[in-house]
Amino acid sequence: MKRIVLTLLGLLMSLPSSASIADGIQAYHEGNFAIALKEFRSASLRGSPEGKHLLASLYYEGHGVPRDLAKAVQLFSEAGEAGYAPSLANLALMYSKGDGVTRDPGKAFTYAQRAADAGDVQSQFNLAQSYRRGDVVPQDHSKAAYWYKKAAESGSLSAQNEYGLLFAQGHGVALDYVQAYAWISMPSSAGNPQSKKNIDQLLQILSPVQLAQARQLASEYASKYGMQKP
């Protein structure tokens, strides 16, 4: 399950909130999972949501301890109840897939909603997908647009493409090919094949005046939102 690993590695690249977590992260980088376990457990016992999340990730991956999904779920849940967005996001995926828990799309959606509210970009994108497809909740393009925009403004290339498509289709937002081009241009420039096709289609629709406006807006959006995230 990629989300667990990515969440852990993302934290490894950030400034930790305590010395024990810093030491644990350094040990993890060095492949010394016994020390990482010791330090993450120490932070967890002090009540640190970040420590609980990192410890849960070790149990999920089986690094330094036998793999124990039940223990991982327990720790992710404790961190999630403290509002820790990465743990909420992991729980959403685990319940969505039935990974270590009984599959429960309703619980998965609830955790995704909480993670999105807490600022987790991938969860914001996933929530938008659910509202667009209408597979777990009733289809609602306005809510899909809201969450795509949140993720797109945080630099999610996938969300930028989907948000742009809503403008191209007039779903949940007013039909606006200039906006569509501006948003889709970022994932297109990053090399996304489907986004490139979408841009090609928009080039057949936009008038010369609209295209000039679209390119100017695309430049502004690239400076503001072009963070090159997946």
Distance CA 16, CA 13 (A): 9
**pLDDT tens column, 39-48:** 999 999 999 9
pTM of the model: 0.84
Neighbour count for residue 170 (Cβ, 10 Å): 13
> Where exactly are the structural domains of the chain?
2-119, 128-225
Q: Is the CATH code 3.40.50.1110 the one for domain 128-225?
A: no
CB 199 within 8 A of CB 185: yes
**pLDDT tens column, 78-109:** 999 999 999 999 999 999 999 999 999 999 99
Determine the pLDDT at residue 135. 86
Neighbour count for residue 20 (Cβ, 10 Å): 20
Only one residue has tokens 């089986």, namely: 62
Q: Any residues with CB less than 8 A from the CB of 137 and at least 6 apart, and which?
A: 109, 130, 131
Determine the pLDDT at residue 12. 44
Determine the pLDDT at residue 211. 98
CB 179 within 8 A of CB 217: yes
The CATH classification of domain 2-119, taken from the options 3.90.330.10, 1.25.40.10, 3.40.50.1370, 3.30.413.10: 1.25.40.10
**pLDDT tens column, 137-169:** 999 999 999 999 999 999 999 999 999 999 999
**pLDDT tens column, 177-229:** 999 999 999 999 999 999 999 999 999 999 999 999 999 999 999 999 986 54
Secondary structure element (H or E) that encloses residue 6, with its range: helix 2-12
